[in-house]
A and B are shown apart, each in its own frame.
Chain A
Amino acid sequence: MSRYAVNSLLYRLKKDPDFRARFEADARAALTGLDLTDAERAAFVARDMRKINELGGYLHLVMSVPGLAAH
């Protein structure tokens, strides 16, 4: 479980508009080189915030990333 990788990615998506734009344009490419498990990578590509939370993503981040947040 790479909890740090999941959460630092969520944090970057929240705080870095340029990275968020790259992710929105091509999620798989934006995640290249990041230390994620296959399940984590798939959850981000699917923008599945419930799964990301289940995989260790902190609730307040999954609820507040602009454009991706679960409510």
Chain B
Amino acid sequence: MGKIVFAGAMSHVLDPDYYQRACGDEGRRKTVECMTEIARMGERFTATRPDALIVVADDHLNAFSFNAVPALCVRIGRTVQRMKQDHAEAFDAVLDHMPEEYPLHEDLANQILAKGIDAGFDLAMSWEAPVDHAFLSPVNTMHGARPIPPLVPIWVNSFVAPQPTPKRCFDFGRHIARVVAAGPWKVGIIATGGLSHFPELSLPRVGETDTVFDRKLIHWMEAGEHEPLRNLGVDELHKTGEHEFLNWMVLLGAVTPARARVRYFGELPRINLAAVEWSLS
């Protein structure tokens, strides 16, 4: 019988240089602190001897712009490539030094997809979409020089309205948990992005966060109170800069009612960095 052996969520621009430019010395220091905790989370994940790692993240209008924008998409196939960007700037530049190709866990991805369709989730599928920093910055920070297990990348449309609801994301996470439980594999799951930044996706508001809202989310996650999280509205997430919490909602559905433990929370002007791990029985 399969099992989710690790669950974690974390910010996904893990680049001290980026936050040095954006926020000065404090930006560098807090990014390094956050990355240190994420690396420790990765060591604990590796110690479980996992068969696969599900990565729930969002596309920053790189892979799906604008031929189609799936609400939820499962990456299938045997390998996935990192996004390539000439003269990469800002968050894209974090990818530059990373490996270009990663193995996928084909069987697990196919089962999440096929059983999901059977269960009423009209999932999109992709054999070709590349992954951007939202996937690879956390994965590489977790693993350092250690081998990365086969991945199952799953995209949530966090940015292009209309997005899927938090409730729908949570329910999809429940589906993932059922697939894992029915299979033979030991599986890790991470969700990436956040916490609050870029409210309303408005350029003049870059530099604002919503620490009160972040702490409210954290409180519910620590307490294992997932019903208030299911009832969040997409508009509420948009206004507070919590767009990427939709990714976290998938993870919460997969591990509910497990309680979260905050490994790092650091306030910066541009974003509140976070690393959270769930206590699994």
Report the Cα distance A53→B92, complex, angstroms. 19
**In the complex, which of the residues A50, A58, A61, A69 contacts B204, with contact meaning CB atoms closer than 8 Å?**
A50
Chain A 36-61 per-residue mask, 1 if CB under 8 angstroms from chain B, else 0: 00000000000001100110001111
Report the Cα distance A7→B86, complex, angstroms. 19
Tally of A-B Cβ pairs under 8 angstroms: 64
Pair A58/B206 contact, Cβ less than 8 Å: no
**In the complex, which of the residues B61, B88, B201 contacts A66, with contact meaning CB atoms closer than 8 Å?**
B88
Pair A11/B90 contact, Cβ less than 8 Å: no
Report the Cα distance A58→B60, complex, angstroms. 9
Known: A58-B61, A59-B198. A14 touches B85 (CB 8 A): yes
* CB-based nearest A residue for B22: A71
Which A residues lie within 8 Å of B61 (CB)?
7, 11, 58, 60-61
Interface positions of A (Cβ within 8 A of B): 4, 7-8, 11, 14-15, 17, 49-50, 53-54, 58-67, 69-71
Which B residues lie within 8 Å of A50 (CB)?
203-204
Report the Cα distance A71→B13, complex, angstroms. 15
Pair B89/A7 contact, Cβ less than 8 Å: no
Which B residues lie within 8 Å of A53 (CB)?
201-203
**In the complex, which of the residues A7, A11, A49, A65 contacts B203, with contact meaning CB atoms closer than 8 Å?**
A49
* CB-based nearest B residue for A11: B65
Report the Cα distance A62→B172, complex, angstroms. 31
**In the complex, which of the residues B21, B90, B159 contacts A63, with contact meaning CB atoms closer than 8 Å?**
B90
Min CB gap B23→A, angstroms: 12
Pair B66/A7 contact, Cβ less than 8 Å: yes
Give 6 A-B contacts (CB < 8 Å), ordered by A residue: A8-B65, A50-B204, A64-B91, A65-B89, A66-B85, A71-B90
How many chain B residues touch A (CB < 8 A): the figure is 22
In the complex, whether B97 has a CB less than 8 A from a CB of chain A is no
Min CB gap A17→B, angstroms: 5
Which B residues lie within 8 Å of A14 (CB)?
85
Pair B87/A67 contact, Cβ less than 8 Å: yes
In the complex, whether B160 has a CB less than 8 A from a CB of chain A is yes
Pair A66/B87 contact, Cβ less than 8 Å: yes
* CB-based nearest B residue for A58: B61
**In the complex, which of the residues A7, A59, A65, A66 contacts B65, with contact meaning CB atoms closer than 8 Å?**
A7
Report the Cα distance A62→B206, complex, angstroms. 12
Pair A59/B201 contact, Cβ less than 8 Å: yes
Which A residues lie within 8 Å of B203 (CB)?
49-50, 53-54, 59, 62-63, 70
Pair B66/A11 contact, Cβ less than 8 Å: yes
Pair B66/A4 contact, Cβ less than 8 Å: yes
Pair B86/A60 contact, Cβ less than 8 Å: no
Report the Cα distance A7→B160, complex, angstroms. 11
Report the Cα distance A16→B169, complex, angstroms. 33
Min CB gap A67→B, angstroms: 7
Min CB gap B230→A, angstroms: 27
**In the complex, which of the residues A11, A58, A71 contacts B159, with contact meaning CB atoms closer than 8 Å?**
A58
Report the Cα distance A63→B201, complex, angstroms. 11
**In the complex, which of the residues B65, B89, B159 contacts A69, with contact meaning CB atoms closer than 8 Å?**
B89
